[in-house]
Amino acid sequence: MKVSLLAVLSLCLATTLFGENSSAPVITVHKGISEQVEVNQISGQAGVEATSILKNDIQLSGAFSLSNSATSTITVSGTASPSSFTGTATEKSGGVVLQKNYPGETRRTVHQFTNDLVETVTGQKGIALSKVAFVADRTGHKEIYTCDYDGARTVQLTHDGAISVSPALSADGRRLAYTGYQSGYADIYRIDLTSGARTRIVKFPGTNSGAAISPDGTRIACTMSKDGNPEIYVTGINGDSPRRLTRSRGVESSPTWSPDGSEIIYSSDERGGPQLYRISSQGGSGRLLTTGFGYNTQPNWSPDGRKVAFNVRNGGGFQVAILDLDSGSTRGTVAEGENPVWGPDSRHLIFARGSGLYLFDTVTGRETRLVSDLGPISEPAWSH
Amino acid sequence: MKRIGIFCCLLALSLAACQKTQKQEYSGAEGDYVNGTPLPPRQEGVSFFSDNVAKGQFQPIYFAFDSFEISPDEGKKLQQIGSFLKTAHNNIILAGFTDERGTPEYNRGLGERRAQAARNYLLSLGVSATRIQTVSFGQEMPVNPGHEESAWAKNRRVETGVVR
């Protein structure tokens, strides 16, 4: 335990130092696992709301921890009106780390400021502006819901009254694809989240499910069974010109894209229990990824391309495991939960467990519950 | 001549070795199964839930955990469906289901694979591929909502809907 904590500490230090070197400006003080940030009461008409959103953002960022003036290395203050937010972050020495005005409503502008602060200090992408989609059973039917990364603004997106499952978000969070059974069969639908327009894009005979939108938003990978077996296919974003990638006797499911869109990792049970395979998105042969587990499903490729989170099964429940693609080694199980998906920072995961949706920091192991009171929750998706 | 013979032997051996590794390491286009008779187009206005589809006429076909193999006993049920289809002119929909263990999307794939396994069995009996549609509901709509093996065994099934 001591050793692994030490490893985590040194890893964080290395990451922080590296981040500092690669992004030239500002910050000089890096001591611990995360920067200690003090948040002063935000002034202005929307100050109370802005303060609580900002404190929560800082806490959930992973890059920072909330602190008081005695221990903090960065102090944040600001002014919030209903239509704009100005934030200032200063070092103990008085040097300004970040000062910026953001026009727009409070929640969004505070998230923008947090992301900018994370990026300035660590060089990493923040998670505060990302969107989450998931399946909940509150109405007695499985429907698709969306919320912000912190669980705020939860909205029921579909009202199909059928079975609506397996949501996927585009990287920019503007489009959502999901599996709907309105026709009595499993079809893939695409929703433009800005206009609300919905199109049934994949409706071949048999079962069409498990859509994953390519990082550039032009293609969809999914499972189809039209040719007589559930296999992985890649189609255009409108479900056009499907191209078959796999040919096996077994069940292929849950494709996930590499960040550059050139490869796909999926789950296949052709050798008994489901295993993970890696294949070119143009086709070819799937190469087995050895994980050391007998049951491997629901792979999700991190946006930095270096890791795959997936589910393993042990006893009654599901555990989250992480495969490091550089070394090929699996970092045992890190948490209890289903369908882990990476956030934009390739550090946090969101997964479902029972009637909860959880944000999980893979560096510290901290878990934060995002959503409750919607009945059983499953199959989250996370924009980047 | 002798050298050619040896060369051929080596070639055959190395090819065999290649094949073996392929089977162990790879899935996909090479060393695959020629697996599939494409499904016919869906019939407009006909689905497993529509009023023109009768359910319960045939017994469900049951499966072992995480398996899509059809046991000899379950095969007998499919033979009954096959005999029916020989004289009747109805089309059918085979709906695959799983138990609650397994992640949801994998279960949708497994349910579809079970439906396709039942379909392949019927095709081998000479039923025309144009008469059978498949659908998977994965772990949805369990027959028995319990959380023990006796419940799960009833939920791992393929149901047959007869199009009237």
Cα(B63)–Cα(B99) distance, integer angstroms: 10
Average pLDDT (B126-131) is 96
What's chain A's average pLDDT?
Answer: 91
Domains of chain A with CATH codes: 2-122 (3.40.50.10070), 131-382 (2.120.10.30)
Q: What percentage of chain B carries pLDDT values higher than 90?
A: 77
Please spell the DSSP secondary structure of A153-186, one letter per residue: S-EE----SSBEEEEEE-TTSSEEEEEE-TTSS-
Q: What are phi and psi of B85, to 5 degrees?
A: -70, -20
A296-301 and A285-289: which strand pairing? unpaired
Indicate yes or no: CB of A183 within 8 angstroms of CB of B32: no
Indicate yes or no: CB of A205 within 8 angstroms of CB of B39: yes
The pLDDT value given to residue B76: 98
- The pair of three-digit structure tokens given for residue B64, joined into one six-digit string: 């072992």
A166: left (phi over 0), alpha (psi -120 to 50) or beta: left
The pLDDT value given to residue A315: 75
A11, pLDDT greater than 50: no
Q: Which residues of A touch B22 (CB under 8 A)?
A: 285
- Supply angle C-alpha A58, A18, A216, rounded to 5: 70
Indicate yes or no: CB of B27 within 8 angstroms of CB of A245: no
Indicate yes or no: CB of B136 within 8 angstroms of CB of A186: yes
Helices A47-60 and A106-122: crossing angle in degrees, nearest 10, is 40
A16, pLDDT greater than 80: no
Cα(A239)–Cα(A200) distance, integer angstroms: 9
What single-letter amino acid sits at B33?
Answer: Y
At B23, the pLDDT band (50, 70, 90 cuts) reads: very low
The pLDDT value given to residue A331: 85
Interface test with chain A among B112, B121, B131, B137, by most A beta carbons within 10 Å:
B112
Among B28, B50, B105, the residue with its CB nearest the CB of A254 is B105
Q: Is A163 on the interface with B (CB under 8 A)?
A: yes
What's chain B's average pLDDT?
Answer: 85
Cα(A145)–Cα(A380) distance, integer angstroms: 9
Q: Is A274 on the interface with B (CB under 8 A)?
A: yes
At A22, the pLDDT band (50, 70, 90 cuts) reads: very low
Indicate yes or no: CB of A247 within 8 angstroms of CB of B110: no
Which of residues 209 through 228 in chain A touch B, CB cutoff 8 A? 209-210, 223, 225-228
Helix extents (H) in A95-137: 106-122
Interface test with chain B among A269, A288, A313, A351, by most B beta carbons within 10 Å:
A269
Q: Is B134 on the interface with A (CB under 8 A)?
A: yes
Q: What are A155's strand-pairing partners? A: A146
The pLDDT value given to residue B17: 41
Helix extents (H) in chain A: 2-22, 47-60, 106-122
Q: Is B152 on the interface with A (CB under 8 A)?
A: no
Shortest CA distance from A183: residue in chain B: B47
Cα(A287)–Cα(A311) distance, integer angstroms: 19
Q: Is A170 on the interface with B (CB under 8 A)?
A: no
Q: Which residues of B touch A285 (CB under 8 A)?
A: 22, 26-30
Q: What is the pLDDT of residues B25-53, one digit of tens each?
A: 333 333 444 567 899 999 999 999 999 99
Half-sphere exposure at residue A204, Cβ-oriented, CA atoms within 13 angstroms:
23
Shortest CA distance from B101: residue in chain A: A316
A23, pLDDT greater than 80: no
Indicate yes or no: CB of A251 within 8 angstroms of CB of B40: no
Indicate yes or no: CB of B105 within 8 angstroms of CB of A251: no
Indicate yes or no: CB of A287 within 8 angstroms of CB of B26: yes
Q: Which residues of B touch A265 (CB under 8 A)?
A: none
At B19, the pLDDT band (50, 70, 90 cuts) reads: very low
Residue ranges of domains in chain B: 53-156
The pLDDT value given to residue B34: 52
Interface test with chain B among A144, A165, A247, A320, by most B beta carbons within 10 Å:
A247
Cα(A223)–Cα(A187) distance, integer angstroms: 10
Burial level of A287, CB count in 10 A (0-12/13-18/19+)?
middle
Which of residues 326 through 345 in chain A touch B, CB cutoff 8 A? 338-339
Among A205, A252, A313, the residue with its CB nearest the CB of B40 is A205
Which of residues 36 through 55 in chain A touch B, CB cutoff 8 A? none
At B5, the pLDDT band (50, 70, 90 cuts) reads: very low
A189, pLDDT greater than 80: yes
A38, pLDDT greater than 80: yes
Summary count for chain A: helices (H), strands (E) = 3, 29
Shortest CA distance from A185: residue in chain B: B135
Interface test with chain B among A249, A263, A282, by most B beta carbons within 10 Å:
A249
A328, pLDDT greater than 50: yes
A39: left (phi over 0), alpha (psi -120 to 50) or beta: beta
Q: What is the distance in angstroms between the Cα of A273 and the nearest Cα belonging to chain B?
A: 8
Indicate yes or no: CB of B109 within 8 angstroms of CB of A184: no
pTM of the full structure = 0.88
Cα(A348)–Cα(A368) distance, integer angstroms: 11
The CATH code of domain B53-156 reads 3.30.1330.60
A329, pLDDT greater than 50: yes
Which strands make up the sheet holding A275-280, listed edge to edge?
A: A252-257, A263-268, A275-280, A285-289, B26-28
Shortest CA distance from B46: residue in chain A: A184
B72-80 long-range contacts, CB within 8 A, separation 24+: B75/B121, B78/B118, B78/B121, B78/B122, B78/B125, B79/B125
Length reported for chain A: 384
